[in-house]
Amino acid sequence: MQDTKENALEQAKRKINGIIQFLNSTTACFTGHRSQKLPWGINEKDKRCIAMKVELRFEIEKAIQRGYKTFLCGMALGFDTICAETVLDLKEKYDNIKIIGALPCKTQDRNWTNKNKERYRNLLARLDGVRCLYDDYIGRECMFERNRYMVNNSSLMIALFNEVTGGTKSTIDYAKRQGLEIVIIKP
């Protein structure tokens, strides 16, 4: 009788792991620099930013055509915001895709300008879901934990990376160790 229960438990675990692997195989995440580390800063009308947005849209559409249906976004200022807006725009063309905000904490926007808070909150209202790790900011670790959550639940990463050390590099390095396919867009 004990062997039968253990067998059923092992079968259930394998089935759950199979489901998780399938979901991960259709999920992509984003990582990239905040505005202050980008050559155009906050000027999204800069030709370099416009070119990056075109390349980002191309890479997201390529992922969709390969079967990716869910996109995880950390919703930080800079690249994350642009990614969320791009996926939301593409939902008009591809109604089967979803975007989930992966927030380090509910107070992520606490010190942002009113303009950035408004943009952020408008985006949050349009997301298909939100996964929030903490109520309040507990230090940089919650940012790293958010990044690990996105990597651990994805099989593809689309990154904006200019070779500068910091959170983006750490997240890319972690994604490499976890075996994700990584697409790097240069700013």
Task: Write the secondary structure of the chain as one string of H (helix), E (strand) and C (coil).
Answer: CHHHHHHHHHHHHHHHHHHHHHHHHCEEEEEECCHHHCCCCCCCCCHHHHHHHHHHHHHHHHHHHCCCCEEEECCCCCHHHHHHHHHHHHCCCCCCCEEEEEEEECCCCCCCCHHHHHHHHHHHHHCCEEEEEECCCCCHHHHHHHHHHHHHCCCEEEEECCCCCCHHHHHHHHHHHCCCEEEEECC
**Is position 5 within any domain?**
no
Distance between the two ends of the chain, CA-based, in angstroms?
A: 61
**Is 113 part of any domain?**
yes
Q: Mean pLDDT, 10 residues at a time, over the chain (187 residues)?
A: 67 54 78 92 96 98 97 97 98 97 96 96 97 93 96 97 91 97 96
Q: What pLDDT does 32 receive?
A: 96
15 domain residue, yes or no? no
- Global pTM reads 0.86
pLDDT value at residue 163: 87
Cα–Cα distance for residue pair 173/167, rounded to 1 Å:
10
Question: What local confidence, expressed as pLDDT, does residue 164 receive?
Answer: 83
Whether 12 maps to a domain, the answer reads no
> Which pLDDT belongs to residue 25?
81
Residue 22 lies in a domain: no
Question: How many angstroms separate the CA atoms of 36 and 137, rounded?
Answer: 21
- The CATH number covering residue 47 comes to 3.40.50.450
Asked if residue 7 is part of any domain, the answer here is no
pLDDT at 22: 47
Q: Is residue 89 part of a domain?
A: yes
Task: Give residue 178's pLDDT.
Answer: 96
Q: What pLDDT score was predicted for residue 8?
A: 62
Predicted confidence at residue 109, as pLDDT, reads 96
Residue 147 forms part of a structural domain: yes
Residue 131 lies in domain: 27-185
Domain count for the chain: 1
